[in-house]
Structure 1
Amino acid sequence: MKTFSAASLSSLSLGVLAMLGGCLEPMADRPSLARRDVELRDRQAEAKAPPPPIETIADPVLARDLTGMLARADKAEADFAIARSAAQQATAAARGNAMGSENWSVAQTRISALDTPRRELSQLLGDLEVLYVARLAKEAAGEVKPGGSAQIDQTRTHVLALVASQDAVINNLKAALAS
């Protein structure tokens, strides 16, 4: 049996008291763990909402860029819908099969195929971020008329909602395959 000295017990009790002292700090100094407004938004409803009208943009270069970006988003969403159908069918066929079985492997492959159109949307989102920041800088410097940044922001919101919707589909299929 091991015995402890009074000094080691004293340092242990001081260490415990120091740790407990951290628990007694006022909560007002810490960030809240409550859900933020952005986490409560309905991303699927935003994804189904139509993209912003391009005709209202006065800057023809910006209008062309956003039209091209929305076309890329439409193509990625259409590609995702085709891949989603195949993944849903494969996942349904794999239900109840053991991990590593033929049906499970096919379903896993089909779910992985969803990453390609989703990656296209993610890249598009990055391009929109770059365009948005550049437009804000130009508007602040007075190089272009204000207003185009709002159109870019609406397009970003639309594409972000599409990404969130696709993420939900992928997560649901993975969960269905795991059960």
Structure 2
Amino acid sequence: MARLSNRFAAVQRLSLLGLAAAPALVLGGCANDRGRFPSLAIRPAERAFYQAQPAPAAATPAQPAPIPADATLTQRLAALETRAREADARFVALVPEVTRTVSRARGAATGSETWNLAQVALARLESARSDTAIALADLDQLAVETQIAAVDKPGPDAANVSNARDSVAARVAQQDSVLAQLKG
């Protein structure tokens, strides 16, 4: 029992020593030795490079207006089809630029500047594709809702939603094909 209490006392002394040393270690990070490390300020060459670059296009497209909760099925369907069409148009507009960027990077070493530019361009294209896929997911949810409602009240709603969903799914499949070609 005495050995156990001696060990406990030793652990207590070490933990108190650690508590006493902790502020010294933390404050040591605040040392005023700035001469050893380079400044992270923008250098004149970097400033000149960024000023010579064309202004980037809008990073993110404007978010679509939310569909009102009290919208009719026809209004919801039209809004989702419009979202998918607009997202597809953004995708199609990006394809030529991305194709050129990816073509320039073919054979470039992983991590090189041209490879990095191609990866960023592909990411922008995938982002546009995901906007179309979001509209498809919303249409999937709407299709489920209308099919459930059709059990009690049959009508053309389920078929209309299914047709719109199939149309958007075809757009997403086409976009997937383009991305696969560019990545291949």
Shorter-chain TM-score: which interval?
A: 0.5 to 0.7
Counterpart of 1:83, as a letter, is L
Which residue does 2:155 correspond to in 1?
A: 146
1:133-164 Cα deviation digits (max 9, x unpaired): 1111212112xx51111111111111111111
CA distance in 1, matches of 2:161, 2:131: 18
Question: Residue 165 of structure 2 corresponds to which residue in structure 1?
Answer: 156
Does the 8 Å CA contact 2:143/2:161 hold for their aligned counterparts? yes
2:177 to 151, 156, 168: 168
CA distance in 2, matches of 1:173, 1:101: 18
The 8 Å contact of residues 135 and 149 in structure 1, kept in 2 or not, is answered as yes
1:71 corresponds to: 82
SS at match of 2:72: helix
Partner in structure 2 of residue 83 of structure 1:
94
Quote the Cα distance in structure 2 between the aligned partners of 1:120 and 1:141: 33
Q: Structure 1: 5+ residue runs without aligned partners? A: 1-59
- Structure 2 gaps, min length 5: 1-70
1:118 is displaced (CA, Å) by 1.2
1:114 alignment partner, SS class: helix
| Distance in 2 separating the partners of 1:93 and 1:87 | 10
Q: Deviations over 1:50-87 (max 9, x none)?
A: xxxxxxxxxx9222111111110111001111222221
Which AA in structure 2 matches 1:133?
V
| 1:1-179 equivalence runs, <5 A | 61-142=72-153, 146-175=155-184
TM-score, normalised with respect to structure 1: 0.60
Cα contact 1:84–1:111 (8 A) shared by 2: no
- Note if contact 1:135-1:148 (Cα within 8 Å) is conserved in structure 2: yes
Aligned length: 114
Structure 1 runs of 4+ aligned residues shifted over 3 Å read: none
Q: TM-score, normalised by structure 2?
A: 0.58
Report 1 or 2 for greater relative contact order, CA contacts < 8 Å, sequence distance ≥ 6: 1
